[in-house]
Structures are given as C-alpha cells and as structure tokens.
Amino acid sequence: MAEETITLNVTRYRPGEDRAPRTQAYSVPYRKDWVVLDALNHIKDQIDGTLTYRWSCRMGVCGSCGMMVNGVPKLTCAAFLRDYYPKEIQVEPLANFPIIRDLVIDMSDFLDKLKSVKPWIIRKTEKPTAQGEYLQTPAQLEAYKQFTQCINCMLCYAACPVYGLEPEFLGPAAIALGYRYNVDSRDEGNEQRRGVMGSHEGVWQCTFVGECTEVCPKHVDPAAAIQRSKLDEATGWLKSVLLPWGGR
Amino acid sequence: MSAVRPDKSKLYYPKMPSAWWLRRLSYFLFMMRELSSVFIALFLVIYLAQIHQLTKGPGAYVAFAQKFQSPGWIAFHVVVLAFALYHTYTWFASSAVVMPLKIGDRFIPQNAVVLLNIAAWVVVSTVIAALFMMFQG
C-alpha cells in the first residue's frame, strides 16, 4: 500500500538572488502525530537541505518556530498535519516582517520595541537585601500573572493589521509586557514607560482589532493589556488636568 | 554589546494587500464595526435635520417625516439599525475586556459581563419604549 503523503507549499527566498519570494511544493509522509515543524524537518533532512527556518524547543516554549500556516500565524510545533490533511498546507514566514531568507524573518524591530518599554522591574530606591523579598498577595500576583506568559513568538505582530499598515506601532507583545510591569505592585516605573507606551505610536495607534489575542498560543490577551493601558493613560491625563496637585 | 543586524539591502519587505480585510472573517467584522460609525453618524445628521424642521412649524416637520415612509428610506433605516445593533454589541464586548469586573478576589468571566450589559440594555430600552408609548397615548 502506497504511503500517505501531504503537500507543503513553502515560501522560498534567497537574499541577493531572488527579487521576490516564490513557493516550492514538497510532498512529505503524512503522520497523524506530526506537526508542521516535523514536516519541515523532514524536508530539511531528507529532501532539500537548503530550506531555512527557525526552531528550537519543539514544545511551545521558546517561541521561535512561528510561521503563517494557511495564512494564520501559528507555532509550527503546535500545528498538527491532521488538522489540514488531506488538503495542501501553505507555509509562509510570519506576516508583517521583512524576510531574511525562506521562512526566517528579521525580528530587529520587535526587539528594539520590546527593549523600549523597559520590561523589567524598576524601583525608585532598592531596599537592602537584608530586608528580604518584595512580598505580594495572591491578588497582586493575579493582576499581572497572565501577561508573564508571553514567549515573544511575535504571532500577535503577524496577526495585527495595524502593525502591517503602520510599522511604527509599538505592537501587542511589547505593550502587553510593559503593562505587565506597570501593574506589578513591586514596580515603580510607570512614568518611565509612559513616554513610549502613552505615545501615538504606543497604545493609541491600536484600533482594537483583537486578533493578537486570538492567535496568542499562551493566552496572554495582549488586546486587553492595550485597552487597559489606554484607560490608565486617559485617567492619568484627566487627573493631571483636573487635580491641582497633578494627580500623579 | 550591540546585536548583529541583517543586511537591510538583502531583506524582502512584503506589502499588505489593499484587500487585507477580506482575508479573514475577523478582519472583515472589524471593518464592519468601524464602518458602523459612518451609518450611525449619517443617522444622527438626518435626525438633527428632522429636529430642525420643528423650528419651521408642525407642517414642515410632518412633511419631512413622511419622506421616511418611502422604501428607500425604510431600507436605509433597516441598514442603520443593523449597524447600530452590531456596534452596540461590540461596545459591550469591548468594555468587558477593558474593564474586568471582580466579585471579591475573583474576576467575573467576560461572557457574563457581556450578557449583563445586554440585559441592562434590554431593560433600559424597554423602560424607554414603555414611557414613550405611555406619553404618546
């Protein structure tokens, strides 16, 4: 009996040689327990060693194998062939990013934006180590815990049409991580982040399409973080206008 | 230490197609939500024009209102109503995301917040409709 196969139509782009990406079809064995990343690894090992893509952990933790699978941003280590079989599968690099080679995108813009929101705990004054940890109640932990799950996979940027149309937009993951620290009871860095997050290119450029939340493999809900940041920015501004002492 | 950056001259920069909003249902629904504002604004302009007729006397107002009985105007108002209802639903859905409600230390599920908003909307609309009919009668 002939082996069952499935066809992957994979984007190829050779820098310095190709003027634009093209699509190459590969027929790979169909296995019910294979994910798209397994199929790509099969192509790389058995059919075409020149195929280039990123991957690492193979279990939805590292966030490096994000690609467009049939037009939807997915971690390819979590996209099972059985969910597409017997139809062909289109595998493309993450949308809205420049392509370096084949399925590899340039993430420099995201990394710059991530750094700009200072995603770490900022203290006005550090207390001496001898005084112990900064304690939190379960409710204080709950306020930001969901947003700590971000793995920087950039699927949310690939799903965001605002980022595609306006590349200066700070974007979902960077804002979600800025918000994560803003609502952390140990942090005192809101003012330092306000210049970036509260700018036009920050939260106010978001039109709440909501797809960032839909595609997030870790259920971070960046759309909620952005809208709540807007509320914080607006109430902060209102207080600064209405209250004699500035409200901050 | 600065990170190594790829040679920008060798990158390929994909462009968003103008029909990007037709690629996915969620994008289409987003555009419909944005478009709903246009229809609601049109309705409000017409409504203001209708109120303005009162300054010209009852006859002018009735003559203006009678135009709305034509099939074209009825179709327009049906479309406006559909967009207004959809816009209202998306507003409630958004507010559940923006302002999560808590009972004690627990967040109320977003779907429950949306349903509570819709229930409050139905109650308020019913009261307004009842008052309207009471004073009209």
User: Does B105 contact A at CB distance below 8 Å?
Assistant: yes
* Contact residues on chain A for B20, CB-CB shorter than 8 A: 161, 164
**CB-defined contacts A:B, below 8 A:** 69
Task: Quote the strand ranges of B54-104, DSSP E.
Answer: 102-103
Q: What's the Cα-to-Cα distance from A72 to each of A14, A68, A92, A95, B1, rounded to whole Å?
A: 23, 5, 9, 9, 35
Element containing residue A25 per DSSP (H, E): strand A22-29
Quick: pLDDT tens for B31-63. Answer: 999 999 999 999 999 999 999 999 999 999 999
* Contact residues on chain A for B11, CB-CB shorter than 8 A: 15, 98-100, 106
CATH number for the domain harbouring residue B54: 1.20.1300.10
Classify residue B83: in a domain, yes or no. Answer: yes
Of the candidates A104, A24, A110, A21, the residue with the CA atom closest to the CA atom of residue A65: A104
Res A186 pLDDT > 80: yes
Indicate the residue of A100, A111, A164 with minimum beta-carbon distance to B6.
A100
| B27·A161 Cβ contact <8 A | yes
Classify residue B123: in a domain, yes or no. Answer: yes
**Is the domain A5-105 a CATH 3.10.20.30 member?**
yes
ipTM field: 0.89
Quick: pLDDT tens for A108-141. Answer: 999 999 999 999 999 999 889 999 999 999 989 9
The rounded distance, in Å, linking the Cα atoms of A50 and A103 is: 11
Quick: pLDDT tens for A63-83. Answer: 999 999 999 999 999 999 999
Q: Which of A152-156, A238-242, B70-74 has the lowest mean pLDDT?
A: A238-242
Of the candidates A33, A136, A38, A43, the residue with the CA atom closest to the CA atom of residue A82: A33
Q: List the domain range (segments joined by +) for residue B110.
A: 23-136
Q: How much of chain A, in percent, has pLDDT values that exceed 90?
A: 90
Look-up of token digits 């974007």: A171
Indicate the residue of B6, B7, B97 with minimum beta-carbon distance to A227.
B97
- Distance between A58 CA and the closest CA of chain B, angstroms: 25
- Residues A225, A226, A228: CA angle, nearest 5 degrees: 65
How many domains does one find in chain B?
A: 1
pLDDT class for B2, splitting at 50, 70, 90? Answer: low
pLDDT confidence of residue A77 = 98
| B30·A142 Cβ contact <8 A | no
The rounded distance, in Å, linking the Cα atoms of A222 and A191 is: 21
Res A248 pLDDT > 70: no
pLDDT confidence of residue B137 = 64
User: Does B24 contact A at CB distance below 8 Å?
Assistant: yes
Indicate the residue of B5, B12, B97 with minimum beta-carbon distance to A99.
B12
User: pTM of this prediction?
Assistant: 0.91
Classify residue B4: in a domain, yes or no. Answer: no
Classify residue B131: in a domain, yes or no. Answer: yes
Classify residue B8: in a domain, yes or no. Answer: no
pLDDT confidence of residue A236 = 85
**Which CATH number, 3.30.300.30, 1.20.1050.10, 3.40.50.300, 1.10.1060.10, labels domain A108-242?**
1.10.1060.10
User: Does B21 contact A at CB distance below 8 Å?
Assistant: yes
Classify residue B12: in a domain, yes or no. Answer: no
Domain-by-domain residue ranges, chain A?
5-105, 108-242
> Would you state the structure tokens that stand for residue A186, as one six-digit string?
């140990």
Chain CA centroid to CA A167, Å: 15
> Would you state the structure tokens that stand for residue A83, as one six-digit string?
């969910």
Classify residue B95: in a domain, yes or no. Answer: yes
Indicate the residue of A16, A72, A95 with minimum beta-carbon distance to B10.
A16
Do residues B31 and B21 make contact, with C-beta atoms less than 8 angstroms apart?
yes
Quick: pLDDT tens for A12-43. Answer: 999 999 999 999 999 999 999 999 999 999 99
